[in-house]
Structure 1
């Protein structure tokens, strides 16, 4: 059993960014969802029972980016300039990529990561009935490698 050291600092605070100037900022995040070949084919063919999986995941990612500050406590609400959500079909998985841009005093990495996470969770939700085995488990389905691919600050 792993033993954790207790941390007795129960303070939490949003970082003060009032002294920073507005700068153009951009973050790109990506992640993967692994699915059964039959499920990937159904997504490609548009035959998933719940509807258009990637269109729904794109809308969900956009909403997630816009609402990041309401679900991650220490994130600043920021004025998003643009959101791009793309999906790439690979052998055995779909990769989601979210690019978020804004001009302001803080970065947009958390918004991009939140967008990718919610996009992939939405894909899972829309195909979960096809992914379950006879015992109701998900032997193939998994989400991996959610990460910041790149961040840019300035011009």
Structure 2
């Protein structure tokens, strides 16, 4: 098991010193789903909400959230992001949100991608709650990351490895 990096030798919260790390291009992809009634999903597709275009507002919220992650998550570094994207796909009973964050720095952007996905989902919830209070935000997860000392990581690879270990 790897050691927790945000806790010092005395067990206290600690911001990691990344000054000795090399700056490399780093990226991360995350996702979230928001499940809802079919009528709510249709209203999103038809752009039929008084508050405005739900997905456009959610996209802007996700991008803004990624840029503010260090204000929301106590041990995150302030990062100069070079790219953030928030994309949507209609699924059977809701919307799947996929986010991407990229930069050239000494630390990764996983939390920024995850924050973007979470806030985009929360924004959809906020804009649609008047017609559907039963929506559920699910499956918030990191899909992949690249760059840095640990290189490339993919949720698909890790999940299949973990599953096979569990069955051995």
With normalisation by structure 2, the TM-score equals 0.80
Cα displacement string for residues 25-73 of structure 1 (whole angstroms, at most 9, x for unaligned residues): 0000001000110010000001012110000000000110000001101
1:110 equivalent to 2:85? Answer no
Q: Which has the higher contact order (CA 8 A, sep 6+)?
A: 1
**Counterpart-to-counterpart distance in 2, 1:129 and 1:85:** 24
**Counterpart-to-counterpart distance in 1, 2:49 and 2:100:** 27
Superposed CA RMSD in Å reads 1.3
**Counterpart-to-counterpart distance in 2, 1:71 and 1:34:** 25
Q: Which runs of 4+ in 1 moved over 3 A?
A: none
**Counterpart-to-counterpart distance in 1, 2:44 and 2:101:** 25
1:80 equivalent to 2:81? Answer yes
1:94 equivalent to 2:88? Answer no
Offset at residue 10 of structure 1 (A): 6.2
Q: 5+ residue gaps in structure 2?
A: 1-9, 152-168
Q: 5+ residue gaps in structure 1?
A: 1-8, 133-137
Name the counterpart of 1:54: 55
**Counterpart-to-counterpart distance in 1, 2:91 and 2:98:** 13
Correspondence 1:1-155 to 2 at 5 A: 11-132=12-133, 138=134, 141-153=135-147
**Counterpart-to-counterpart distance in 1, 2:49 and 2:87:** 19
